[in-house]
A and B are shown apart, each in its own frame.
Chain A
Amino acid sequence: MPRETWGITECSRTMIRFILFLKKIYVPLLFILLEALALNFYANSTSYTKARLLGISNAVVGRIYKQFASVGDYFGLRRENEALVSEVARLQNELEAFRMQTGGAQPTDSLLALTGEAAKYYYTTAYVINNSITRQENYITLDKGRRDGVEPNMAIVTPQGTIVGYVLNCSDRFSVGISVLNINFKTGGNIRGKDNFGSLYWDGLDHNYVVLSEIPKYADLQPGDTIVTGYSSIFPPDVEIGCVESFELTSSNYYKVKVKLSTRMSSLKRVLLVRYADAVEQRLLEEQTINGGFAEDYSN
């Protein structure tokens, strides 16, 4: 009997000591555990994860954003109207020029007759209800969603035809797009009227400027040149990005160009959404080429 009692007390004493020890350190343990979980989640997150998170919260607060945006709307009506009228004038000019070229035929008919298929780009409009410029990864919330025909990878441009971003995630009524002011944003950029292209990104330093890198040294580059979108399965060609502010040689072969954005990202209101009809086909073909036999044959 005494031996057993001794055994039990010894055992329970260690137990108690262990529990006391746990009680002393469970807060730091919990802290480390929670931080590790959060860090893990952050490290494995992509722009799509973030857009999805915003999509979830939009289901709750999207309507409120919409209310706020519609109140703020009245203050910008005058400028908005002026921009629309000048855009109409520009389009009229373009139409006139097109009519001259086709000799008075109806432009839409002749276009259909030429290509024999529907338009390559489909345009629709949306309204920006939430937009930030202060973070390193900025996203744009739009008031149209899947029900209105919006889908991921549609380009977002201003009515003046300057770049804004593209759609990442859609819910039924809202969609979240990646802004050009997001360090994960990347697309191709051209100097208008020339063949040199480079890759365009935001360095996270100033919301008025983006960076165009990998422009070859022999390119004829002048401050004030216009930079437009180039090869992309998202943006139509010739969407204006901005003007060359300054440039410098990085390494010995490439220019790094500082581009002043044409879009005023801090005061976005109405935007156009553009769907490139052949985007899926183009992307599939590109993926097949990269993953398929061609690349492997080449390496062998």
Chain B
Amino acid sequence: MLKIIQIEEERDMLYRILEYLFFFVVLLLLQLFLFNNLNFGVYVNPLVYIAFIILLPMETLPVVMLLSGLLLGCAMDLVMGTAGINTIATLFTAYSRPLLLRLFIGKDDIRDGGVPNLRRLGAGKYFRYSTLVVFLQCFVFFTLESLSWDYYYLTLLRILCSTVVTVVLVYFAQMLFGDGMGRHFGV
């Protein structure tokens, strides 16, 4: 009996990893062929790929978080030709996510685990949490990109506009993929 449960758990784990791999590839393609080509001007540059970090299960080990951040950042740097900014920003966001979870979601929810999507957390908690993660990502990204304190108010404007657009797009991403993920796991 115990053995069967163990096998089922392992199978679920494998499903979950495959689902996240699929999500990773979909996000990469969307960012590359859709969101990078939305030429709305200098102020809106959505970094939707961060949805991957946002929607990793809450019980993910910190070291796994960090390595996924590394993989995601490097992939985005390569296709966007940004030579490191994506990696720096994504590593930072991935590293600070456990802290953000603890700040916004509370110990009980984290202990139960699961995908931190809208359905799991409720609108209030979800939006507070996702907005802050996206803001961190945009803050590091655009500050490093402009690399100067002249016109910092304009960089701030870029950060704010991009954060708002990204939060909305991440909301759609979690509707499309986040709901499907975790259905096997009864969360």
Contacts and interface: CB of A to CB of B under 8 A. Distances in A.
A132 B79 contact: no
B73 to A, nearest CB: 7
B66 interface: yes
Interface string A41-55: 110010001110110
B81 A134 contact: no
Nearest to A28: B95
B42 A205 contact: yes
A56 B78 contact: yes
Nearest to A203: B151
Question: Which of A56, A65, A135, A266 is the most central at the interface, judged by chain B CB atoms within 10 Å of its CB?
Answer: A135
B72 interface: no
Given A136-B145, A204-B42, A205-B151, A42 B88 contact: yes
Interface in B59-88: 62-63, 66, 70, 73, 77-79, 81-85, 87-88
B63 A57 contact: no
B186 interface: no
Given A30-B63, A30-B66, A45-B83, A134 B146 contact: no
B170 interface: no
Contacts of A266: 39
A130 B143 CA distance: 25
A227 B37 CA distance: 29
B32 A61 contact: yes
Contacts of A228: none
B118 interface: no
B83 A41 contact: yes
A45 B83 CA distance: 7
Interface stretch (A32-40, A78-86, A250-258, A272-280): A32-40
A49 B32 CA distance: 19
B177 interface: no
Interface residues of A, number: 39
B187 interface: no
B95 A31 contact: yes
A211 to B, nearest CB: 12
A44 to B, nearest CB: 9
Chain A interface SS verdict (over half): helix
A130 B37 contact: yes
Nearest to A49: B83
Contacts of B62: 27
A49 B84 CA distance: 11
Contact of B66 (A31, A49, A51, A205): A31
Nearest to B61: A27
Contacts of B82: 50, 53, 135, 137
A207 interface: yes
Given A31-B95, A38-B84, A266-B39, 16 more contacts: A27-B63, A27-B66, A34-B87, A35-B91, A39-B84, A50-B81, A57-B81, A64-B33, A132-B37, A134-B45, A135-B82, A136-B146, A139-B81, A176-B81, A204-B146, A207-B39
Identify the 10 closest CB pairs spanning chains A and B, nearest first. A42-B84, A54-B81, A45-B83, A134-B45, A38-B87, A50-B81, A27-B62, A57-B79, A41-B84, A31-B95
Interface of B: 32-33, 36-45, 62-63, 66, 70, 73, 77-79, 81-85, 87-88, 91-92, 95, 144-146, 151, 154
Interface of A: 26-28, 30-31, 34-35, 38-39, 41-42, 45, 49-51, 53-54, 56-57, 61, 64-65, 68, 130-137, 139, 176, 203-207, 266
